[in-house]
Amino acid sequence: MSMLGTKWKLHGNGTSVRPGEVVRPDERLTWPLTVGIGMQHVVAMFGATFLVPIITGMPPATTLFFSGIGTLLFLVITQGRVPSYLGSSFAFIAPILASQQQFGIPGALGGVVLAGATLAVVGAVVQKFGAGWINRVMPPIVTGAIVALIGLNLAPAAKANFDQAPVTAFITLAVIIVVSVLFRGMLGRLSILVGVLVGYLFAVIRGEVDFSKMDGAAWVGLPHFQTPEFHLGVVGLFVPVVLVLVAENIGHVKSVSAMTGQNLDGVSGRALLADGAATVLAGLGGGSGTTTYAENIGVMAATKVYSTAAYWVAGVFAVILSFSPKFGELIATVPAGVLGGAATMLYGMIGVLGVKIWVQNKVNFSNSINLTTAAVALIVGIADYTWTIGDLKFTGIALGSAAALVIYHGMKAIAKVRGTVAEPETEDLSPAAASTAAVRAASKRASKKRR
């Protein structure tokens, strides 16, 4: 494969994948099949990627443009070793909405640039020194709490949209739920997109959709670009997002490694750096922050095609679509009721993904450090606690994230000195190991008492 990762070997006869085989990142099928799979990746991210700009009031076509450009940049920086489409990150919704209230869209874009630059720096450090320190700073209990509180912090926003057209919202949500279990394969994975489409048609019938802007838009034209403004007050809103993006990107690289049988640890830093660079680029031009997408992991798992050639196609296709103002205005006509139904599912999914991190890593909540870390962080995030210091305003996501980090590491340091926590942090210890840990902790306590 070339330095840019743009040379691929033909897999087998190029037309099929035998059972037990996968099309690796440095391979491809015939170009007609590759083009079809690439376009499928764009469709897979539609329902999620477009919801972010619609909810935050940012131009969908611009977000799509930087989504495509960001994907191509990601492929170049990772040298074609990590197949990924970069779509809008839900983690940006809450800070963008909060920052818009005080600084408008330009101020929110400044926050996106800040988050992207921070992520790029983290990526450079990971590429230089490895990702082990991330796991120590952000163990599963902390990562899960932060991901969960970001999703649950958005619950009031979902309710606000739901209440504007409850019938339409209910239909949208019901279709998403039913389709996710009624159909297998690709259609089941696109349940959010299907639900939005059905909800949208229902809203059209009820007269809830305004097509006036779309009717006046040109078929071909440039996306609407905007420049950012930088305010100190957005720092506390956007920095916690970086923690989520780190978790998402590292998780994506590990997933691809597991599915392709290739060790990609050596490019995890490049993946973070690439996503950070793509997010900076988006913020500079008026797009939303980007991240790797679980929907595209689903497409790869279903097709067994991990070829980065398909993602080059997806990136180019997204850029082409973004040059249709009429298409962008069509996306922007999605009414509040549809958003409310979809957001109820999506924001809840983000919250549950945090819980999933705990479950997958067997976090032990009998351990008082884990229990306290999660308990305090979730309440601070969900209730949206605020703390204002001069021009800086820290809201629930920032304070909840900080609480998770400070409480975990603070309690762990105290417990280590005092020898007061006997329960293991995870539940995957064997009975013998758990018993040994308990005996060791008891021995430390006894030793300190004798002193």
| Local confidence band at 379 (pLDDT 50, 70, 90 cut-offs) | very high
Question: Within this chain, do residues 172 and 265 fall inside the same structural domain, yes or no?
Answer: yes
Residues 131-160 have a mean pLDDT of 82
Write the burial class of residue 115 (CB in 10 Å: 0-12 exposed, 13-18 middle, 19+ buried).
buried
Token pair of 241 as six digits: 């997002």
Q: Which of 141-150, 348-357, 396-405, 432-441 has the lowest mean pLDDT?
A: 432-441
Residue 172 lies in a domain: yes
What's the pLDDT at 374? 93
Q: Between 101 and 332, where is the model more confident?
A: 101
Residues 122-132 have a mean pLDDT of 85
**Residue 394: left (phi > 0), alpha (psi -120 to 50), or beta?**
beta
What's the pLDDT at 69? 94
Tens digits of residue pLDDT in 179-230:
888 886 656 666 777 888 899 999 999 888 888 878 877 888 888 899 999 8
What's the pLDDT at 434? 47
Question: Within this chain, do residues 256 and 165 fall inside the same structural domain, yes or no?
Answer: yes
Task: Please report, to the nearest 10 degrees, the dihedral formed by the alpha carbons of residues 408, 409, 411, 413 taken in order.
Answer: 160
Asked whether residue 63 carries a pLDDT value surpassing 80, the answer given is: yes
What's the pLDDT at 148? 84
What's the pLDDT at 302? 64
Total domains in the fold of the chain: 2
What's the pLDDT at 393? 67
* pTM higher than the cut 0.85: no
Most confident of 229-238, 301-310, 344-353, 369-378: 369-378
Tens digits of residue pLDDT in 395-451:
787 788 889 989 999 999 998 888 887 677 777 654 444 454 544 555 555 555 544
> b/e string for 183-216 if b means 16 or more Cβ within 10 A?
eeeeeebbbbbbbbbbbbebbeeeebbeeeebee
Domain boundary among 301, 322, 353: 353
**What value does the mean pLDDT of the chain take?**
82
- Of the candidates 74, 105, 94, the one whose C-alpha atom is nearest the C-alpha of residue 256 is 74
Residue 392 lies in a domain: yes
**Domain range holding 401?**
364-451
Give residues with Cβ within 8 angstroms of 208, minimum separation 6.
Answer: 165, 168, 335, 337
Helices and strands (DSSP H and E) totals, the chain: 20, 6
Question: Within this chain, do residues 318 and 374 fall inside the same structural domain, yes or no?
Answer: no
What's the pLDDT at 137? 81
Domain boundary among 353, 378, 399: 353
Question: Within this chain, do residues 374 and 251 fall inside the same structural domain, yes or no?
Answer: no
Q: Give the C-alpha separation, 5 to 244, whole Å.
A: 27
SS3 287: coil
Q: Are 38 and 312 in contact (CB under 8 A)?
A: yes
Residue 333 lies in a domain: yes
What's the pLDDT at 176? 87
- Percentage of the chain lying above the pLDDT 90 cut: 21
What's the pLDDT at 285? 92
Question: Within this chain, do residues 346 and 381 fall inside the same structural domain, yes or no?
Answer: no
Residues 161-175 have a mean pLDDT of 92
